[in-house]
Amino acid sequence: MNKPKMATEKGVPSNSRVLMLLGQLERMNGEAMMRDVETARQVTAKIFHLIQTQEKSGKEVMSKGSSGMEVILASLESTRDVQTTLNILYILSELLTVGRGRRVGVFVSKGGTGILFQILITTSKELPPSEELMLQLHSLLAKVGPKDRKFGVKARLSGALNATVNLTKQNLQNTKLLLPCLQVLRVYSTNSVNAISLGKNGVVELMFKIVVPFSKKNTSLLKVALDALGALLKSKTNARRAVDAGHVHVLLALYQDWHHNDTRHRHMLIRKGLLVCLRNITNIKLGRKAFIDADGMRILYYSSTECLPVRTLDPLVNTSSLIMRKCFPKNRLPLPTIKSAFHYQLPHVPAVGPVAQLYSQPLGGRKIHQLCDRPLKKVDDVVDESDDNEETDADTENDTDNEEDEKDQHTANEDIETDLNKLHPKKNPGRPFEELKVYERFFLELSEDFQGYNFEPSKSASTTSSSFSSTRATRPIIVPTAQALSPKHVPITSCQEDCNPTKAERAPPSPSVPTPAPPASLTPLELDTIHLTKDQDRKEEARIPSPDTHTTLSSLTRPPSQAQTIEQDLAHVLECVSLEAEGALNTEGVKQDGSPVNATRHIQSPLLLGGIATRRVGGGGGSNWGSDCGSEGTEDEGGEGAVLEVPDTALLLPLHDPDLYVEMVKGTHSVPQYAEVAYPDYFGHIAPTFREPLQERVYGVQRSKIFQDIERLIHPNDIVDKVVYDLDIPSCPVIEDNGESLKFNSQFESGNLRKAVQMRKYEYDLVLNSDINSNHYHQWFYFEVSGMRVGTTYRFNIINSEKSNSQFNYGMQVLMYSVQEAISGRPRWVRTGTDICYYKNHFARSSIAAGGQKGKSYYTMTFSTSFSHKDDVCYFAYHYPYTYSTLKMHLSKLEALRTPQIYLRRDVLCETLGGNSCPLLTITAMPESNSNDHICQFRNRPLIFLSARVHPGETNASWVMKGTLEFLMGTSPLAASLREAYIFKIVPMLNPDGVVNGKVLQLLLCSPSLCILLLFCCSHRCSLSGEDLNRQWQNPNPELHPTIYHTKSLLQYLAHIQRAPLVFCDYHGHSRKKNVFMYGCSVKETVWQSNISATSSDLHEDLGYRALPKILSQIAPAFSMASCSFVVERSKESTARVVVWREIGVQRSYTMESTLCGCDQGKYKGLQIGTRELEEMGAQFCVALLRLKRLTGIRNHQHLLDLESDIIGTQSKVVSSSPTTYVVEEDEPSFLEEIDYSAESNDEDAEPEIEHGIEVQENANHLDRLSDCETNHKD
């Protein structure tokens, strides 16, 4: 016997029997095989026997370097004998069964799929075709198909589709042959073109002939048929064909039959297959309508409810839930219009931007028709039932849509700036110096000579104030402290002047001073019955765990001996504060009807600013005084005031003064003209001493909430559907009832709640005000609730959220403030809520509200909570509120901390559109003397420029800024060193109007020919101009964006005089990531990510931009270096960070993002973030600046570069190999249960929500060298 010529692998014996047989088969290929049919049969039979009985034989054939597969396929292609063909098919089947992944790949790469299709076509032409041959062919094709990406195309081009379809139709009763045919059809149908072609050939109807009611026979066949049918119904054409044929009803009947008969749940896959068919068929509007008409909601609801107790049936429940939610009739939000009732007149219409876009769109509505002579088309706020852009298989919870992920990654990478000219910072002030010289008055510290100033240590701080008083571009806003001036000193109206004498007139209190009489319907509050709860020990809770905490706060604490004065001051402020009770109380604390009342805890309404006219006062308490709706004078008259136990917040919170806060509110301008003060803002907040861990999500919570929503359709009689609060009824937003409903209110500074609808006895749907005139960004909420029952669990659903995911799915809870807890000495916001989840709902977003996209839905954020106190007033908020009035109060209190060693100047940078002042602070250390050396050192200190709160909803940024300011004004050695090292220029709130007006407003855009109302809101991101101010830094408009315009002008002025800041940092908050982190700007890292070609000179860059975040990662427990990013993106080119880096030339230009949720690393891992941690972050930022000073103060600049290179680590050079570094992704693992949110990325938060993949090599030794002896060192 001759030695086989076929190639053999090294190590395989050349005399291997199977290889010898393959060699013999190779020589017989072609005409020899056709002549010697018997020998071919014998050889192939022997090969099959060896492979079947000896595992090593198969390995020899499929081993690398062996040409066995080529020989087998060549023989298969050349033979015309049926038995030889069958033998070869048996061989292939045996080979591909074991290790099928790699072996099938080899088979496909050698052209095996095409050969099988050729044999299939040839065999199908024979009459009758060989059943066994067809069986083996289709069995092999079923194995190969899923591994061949071009399988569908090959089948269609070869004509194999019709061959398989015809064979299937001819063998409906032949289950042995039918099964592999269906398996192949299932693979064919995954190709959309094939699915449509098969549908035209009647395969959909054919599948319905095969799918039968419950039977224990042929279950495998039925399962494959359902899989094939499900794949076919992904085509909208086939889905319409099925609906027209009435198959939706058939599918529901089949599902019911299998559900009722499969009691042991052995055929779950068949039931799941039926649900998949229904899921695909309901992707079209016609299918959803047919599903509803066939009572599908009720069928799936009850069947799913019966499946809930069995955990293994969760796939059925989840799929049923998805179908029901998809088919739930789409509704519009329960609002008369997406517009609001308030308006604000802009000076002019901007040329570009969202306001300009809305100006160019057709608007309409009642108010516009009143303002305009000509009618306009209605705004597109109707339900959009289009099939376009529907997520056919999205929203499956474990299974994110891969195409969406790829799209997100592609979009994110495309956003990276690739223009090297834009990547290199170029100092370009943009305006002539003559225009910028006006800003010189904001930098008096650079020219101050301090002549005539007494530097004696005994000199009081008040004496120094005249040395550096504010020089202001606009009218000065002098905010007095509580000790200097009583809130009653500033007259608001003539009524207030009569009712509220000045402090000089009142002191000392005398019985001869007449007490003003309140309206008859308002129960008077006897001031002599007010009891102050003094809990001096609780002052410890207000401390920030920072290096200078002890000294700072101890200097603020009032001595106990002042308790009487505090009580008198608090009594004075309550002269202009109405605390209304629901009913009049007599002196014994009993209602006139005789029912007992706990008078010391009975608080039902918000604080009212005395003398300020309001449409409605009383809010949560339900009182009608001052309103024009409901009955007036229904309160019992003659009763005496309730006893109110108020905490001494001055002792608990050194920087909080209720008197001063009320005074600040009176000076705050709001478009709705708020006349109420929220209790949390009045009492203040003390960070709790206990930890608040991230809430562990209970399995199935989202599913249970969804089913409760579906029950609204199943059991409509159980739905109350009663509006209890509606800002669209401005005369009477609180709807009076018989006391069976909760009472809501949001008419106070930063409040946001537009409408509350009672759906069930203890369930409420809440609608938030939109955020910008493009009618989206619903996120921030802050509202009051009263009239609750103790121990009862209430469910609240915020139904018009828009982001595709939220940290509420990952452990974040809402915040609640209890007034009863506050007056008991515990004034604090606490994390609360159970059964919290965030999911897509059945309320449709209009294409206008969705930015032109159709078929979008809103999302629901739901939570449940119970209340512990009777007659309580509670507040709920998205995050810890920090109002503009709170800022003004804190600044006044901080001014009182100034010592002779502190240089503090407070200017008004400008006035906002709404008439509120934008404060600008300058903080540094006084020079040691007025000698030339000391003055020179004072003037030449590097500048640090800080800003915050450009986005109103990011309240955490203000808490971080509060921590920074308190540290800077502290008396610790670290604070003193920091002031001596730098001059700080701080704009603590860039968007006061947005913070104040926490509700939807409208723009009144006036042009010569037309007045148009445009919607906007300041609740989350925008200003009164309706624009995101952090996107206006490139070309800010002095009239529409005054705070940004003048802040940028300050920086431009500094650039002109060669005093650009060493560090610029804008404080922000992030809603979809954890921890605190930074975004910076780097040429190198941007180039690495974009993979653009660049020379070494292009990549020359000082690595100092990484030093500050690296230091923070070492000292701040909440800070995460891994989350930082230094890539410049096109979409962020108009943000503060990029503009200051590019135009002003500040290398260390940052955005510092603080989480709204919590931390997943470090000391605070697993905890929700609180004000204590946020303020600590602000203090640690100051400490990091001090370390940075020592780092940049190294004389050998090259040593500085080497040092920072070591800090960064060499691993940063592998950034380009990380494809997911800048993909906008959620930074959370998936849950076991489905989370219904889409893979939409484009987060509209302050900066891109990206996971930075650079792993920075830790080098603590260098940083440790920088931190030694910090407490005693002075630069």
C-alpha radius of gyration, the chain, whole number: 37
- Tell me phi and psi for residue 100, to 5 degrees: -65, -25
Q: Give one DSSP letter per residue of 999-1045, joined into a string.
A: SEEEEEEE-SS-EEEEEEE-SSSB-TTSSBGGG-SSS--TTTSHHHH
For residue 620, give both structure tokens: 């949560």
For residue 1040, give both structure tokens: 């529409």
Please tell me the distance from the alpha carbon of residue 1164 to that of residue 1161, in angstroms, as a whole number: 7
For residue 1197, give both structure tokens: 């600049």
Q: Give one DSSP letter per residue of 907-919, joined into a string.
A: EEEEE-TTS-EEE
Angle at 1229 between CA 1223 and CA 1231, to 5 degrees: 135
- By the 10 Å C-beta count (0-12 exposed, 13-18 middle, 19+ buried), 765 is classed as buried
Q: Which residues contact 844 (CB under 8 A, 6 or more apart)?
A: 330, 331, 332, 383, 384, 385, 856, 857, 858
How many CB atoms lie under 10 A from the CB of residue 146?
14
Please tell me the distance from the alpha carbon of residue 152 to that of residue 161, in angstroms, as a whole number: 9
- Long-range contact set of residues 99-103: C-beta below 8 Å, sequence gap at least 24: 99/62, 100/143, 100/147, 101/147, 102/62, 103/62
Q: Which residues contact 315 (CB under 8 A, 6 or more apart)?
A: 268, 272
Angle between helices 563-573 and 658-666 (to 10 degrees): 30
Angle between helices 285-293 and 296-307 (to 10 degrees): 80
Per residue in 309-344, is it b (16+ CB within 10 Å) or e — as a string?
eeeebbbbbbbbbbbbbbbbebeebebebbbbbbbb
Asked if 580 contacts 605 with a C-beta cutoff of 8 angstroms, the reply is yes
Among the listed residues 580, 1143, 1153, 1233, the single catalytic one is 1153
Longest dimension (CA), the chain: 134
Segments of 1119-1204 assigned E as strands:
1148-1155
* C-alpha separations of 617 from 72, 876, 1200, 1224 in Å: 90, 20, 62, 46
- Tell me phi and psi for residue 1068, to 5 degrees: -135, 175
Establish whether 632 is a catalytic residue: no
Please tell me the distance from the alpha carbon of residue 952 to that of residue 1069, in angstroms, as a whole number: 10
Please tell me the distance from the alpha carbon of residue 990 to that of residue 946, in angstroms, as a whole number: 10
Q: Which of 442, 427, 447 is nearest to 940 (CA)?
A: 447
How many CB atoms lie under 10 A from the CB of residue 795?
18
Asked if 1003 contacts 359 with a C-beta cutoff of 8 angstroms, the reply is no
Please tell me the distance from the alpha carbon of residue 1241 to that of residue 404, in angstroms, as a whole number: 9
- Tell me phi and psi for residue 473, to 5 degrees: -75, -25
Please tell me the distance from the alpha carbon of residue 3 to that of residue 849, in angstroms, as a whole number: 78
For residue 984, give both structure tokens: 């700080």
For residue 841, give both structure tokens: 């709902």
| DSSP helix/strand/coil, 1060 | coil
Q: Which residues contact 264 (CB under 8 A, 6 or more apart)?
A: none
For residue 37, give both structure tokens: 């049919």
Q: Enumerate the active-site residues.
A: 1153
